Amino acid sequence: MDLGLRGRKAIVCAASKGLGRGCAEALAAEGVDLVINARTEDTLVRTAEEIAARCGVSVTPVACDITTEAGRARVLEACPEPDILVNNAGGPPPGDFRDWDRDDWIAALDANMLTPILLIKSVVDGMIERRFGRVVNITSAAVKAPIPILGLSNGARAGLTGFVAGLARETVRHNVTINGLLPGPFDTDRLRNTMAARAEKEGRPVEEVLREAGASNPSGRVGTPAEFGHACAFLCSAHSGFMTGQNLLVDGGAFPGTL
Ligand code: NAD
């Protein structure tokens, strides 16, 4: 299936590794020129070079913290008129809400609610004028089934999801869609670091602990960033203009609801 995206321009945030990189790779494979962002310059530049060499598209790396105003300005300067925006940033730390103060909440809201909203604000009117826009917010399966120790994530991402639910119904008549993509467990550095800590504590190989984590999922495994990227590319495609305001789980069937 040709997704009809050749020659389009995308901003993919937090994309040197993991799910963001999966999305960047899938879009590049469809002929989309990219501006990708992450904080660590050498990893980001390497990722940009690898994707550009493999897919023959232009990939511009912008090393900065996307949760800061200055960082967002630099990314937008590199791509002022994107057709596609993939919002992503690191997730907040786990913990007990009794230990979190106002600053912890503000940091979570900044990263996982306000940053995507401010980026959407910067690009959505241009998308409306050009009559094409695709925004995908990488959130979490915790939006549908909250994970108690991830209270900061549950709260901030629910705020983003609620805001987008309204806006998405206003932009769709201009062929600008906004959807959430909700990852369950994926084999990324974030998951591997958590598993590595557990493996070390228990004196077991990390692959064994990772396999065990996958075994509790209906699919019997964890997902790959490439699978997540393909789902993202479909939401960004020319054919998905009638899908908006949705929150799509990519979780191997872990969420047990009928709908
Ligand atoms: P990862 O650690 O593998 O990759 C994170 C990427 O984001 C890296 O490229 C890092 O440099 C970049 N990054 C982080 N904070 C940034 C910032 N402030 N500015 C710019 N770049 C930044 O993580 P991942 O597993 O790909 O997770 C991506 C998002 O998905 C996170 O919000 C995470 O909480 C969420 N999520 C992941 C999973 C999973 O199983 N991997 C499950 C649910 C939700």
pLDDT tens-digit profile of 87-143? 999 999 999 999 999 999 999 999 999 999 999 999 999 999 999 999 999 999 999
The answer to whether the Cα torsion of 73, 77, 82, 84 is positive or negative is negative
| Pick from 117-126, 205-214, 232-241: least confident | 205-214
pLDDT tens-digit map of 190-204: 888 888 888 898 999
Q: For 47-101, what is the HEC assignment? A: HHHHHHHHHCCCEEEEECCCCCHHHHHHHHHHCCCCCEEEECCCCCCCCCHHHCC
CA-nearest residue, atom 17 of ligand 1 = 65
15 Cα: distance to centroid of ligand 1 (angstroms): 8
Give pTM, 2 decimals. 0.97
Mutate to test the pocket of ligand 1, among 17, 19, 47 (most ligand atoms within 8 A of CB): 19
pLDDT tens-digit map of 136-171: 999 999 999 999 999 999 999 999 999 999 999 999
Instruction: List ligand 1's pocket residues with C-beta within 6 A.
Output: 14-20, 37-40, 65-67, 88-91, 111, 138, 140-141, 183, 185-186, 188-191
Q: Which atom of ligand 1 is nearest to the CA of 38?
A: 21
89 Cα: distance to centroid of ligand 1 (angstroms): 5
Q: What percent of the chain lies above the pLDDT cut of 90?
A: 91
Mean pLDDT score, 56-82: 98
- Residues in contact with 15: Cβ distance below 8 Å, sequence separation at least 6, in sequence order: 21, 23, 24, 34, 36, 37, 38, 44, 47, 86, 88
244 Cα: distance to centroid of ligand 1 (angstroms): 23
